[in-house]
Structure 1
Amino acid sequence: MADKNYIPLKDLEVYQLSRELSRICWRIYSKLNFQQKKTVGDQFITSADSVGANIAEGYARFHYLDKIRFYYISRGSLSEAVNHWSEIMLERDFISLSDFDEVKIIHQKLEVKLNNFISSTYKSKQK
């Protein structure tokens, strides 16, 4: 019998936003030349993809503190991708301001959802 309270990973809004961020970052990454990819692009796309990967891994864990640990890693990867690598790429004129703004919009939504996800996971086990 299936758990009626279980929400599949792909239906979580926080995970959907992380996948949207990955799609946008991949589009940006694919436009970079070889040197740009090797200097900052590879780290940019790796950290962006890590956001969703860590949400997925944490969601599959049993203990709530184990889950939260992966969600914290996800939050760190989000900051790395957006607050560090995308800003460096903008400063170096590797990406357009419109691409940067698109990443920042998703970042703002995802950051709030991820913080709320961490908080609700913690609170759900405090009852």
Structure 2
Amino acid sequence: MENKFLELDKIYAYKRAFTLSNYIWNIIISWDFFSKDTVGKQFTRSIDSISANLAEGYGRYHKKDKIKFYRYAMGSLRESIDWNEKSRIRKLINEEQYFHINNELRELPQEINYLIKFTNEKLTI
């Protein structure tokens, strides 16, 4: 019998972070050179790092390694909140985009914390 939770693309936090990173990529790709080179690169790196760290943690064998990368994802999430705020203030994104990104970034910590809790409780090594 196949355990769906153990497949990376079935982990809700990963799917949500991955989808959000592509949403933001599609916004940033149309910015002018200066905006892309300053805010855009940083925002893209931080937002991509959320799902990348979740994936890396998923691929680790030991519980402590997994949780360490899930916590790195949380740090990247906090950085992405900062870049989202800067993008709004600098008028690089519109209000609708800002609120969509903000809502996703505000809900993701709960999903990542659940993943950390699940890993901590269910894995023995």
Residues 1:114 and 2:103 are matched in the alignment: no
TM-align CA RMSD = 1.7
Identify if the C-alpha distance between structure 1 residues 10 and 4 changes in structure 2 by more than 3 Å, giving closer, same or farther. Answer: closer
Unaligned segments of structure 1, at least 5 residues = none
Residues in 2 aligned to 1:5 and 1:12: alpha-carbon distance in whole angstroms: 9
TM value normalised by structure 2: 0.91
Residues in 1 aligned to 2:31 and 2:69: alpha-carbon distance in whole angstroms: 30
Between the aligned residues of both structures, percent identity stands at: 33
Residues in 2 aligned to 1:70 and 1:102: alpha-carbon distance in whole angstroms: 25
Residues in 2 aligned to 1:4 and 1:90: alpha-carbon distance in whole angstroms: 41
TM value normalised by structure 1: 0.90
Which digits, 9 at most, give the CA deviation of each residue in 1:63-93, with x for residues without a partner? Answer: 0000000000001111111x21110111111
Which digits, 9 at most, give the CA deviation of each residue in 1:23-57, with x for residues without a partner? Answer: 11112211211000111110000110011110001
SS in 1 for 2:29: helix
Matches within 5 A, 1:94-113: 94-113=92-111
> How many residue pairs are counted as aligned between the two chains?
124
Quote the residue 1:23 is aligned against: 22
Residues in 2 aligned to 1:20 and 1:46: alpha-carbon distance in whole angstroms: 14
Runs of 4+ in structure 1 over 6 Å off: none
Quote the residue 2:76 is aligned against: 77
Quote the residue 1:93 is aligned against: 91
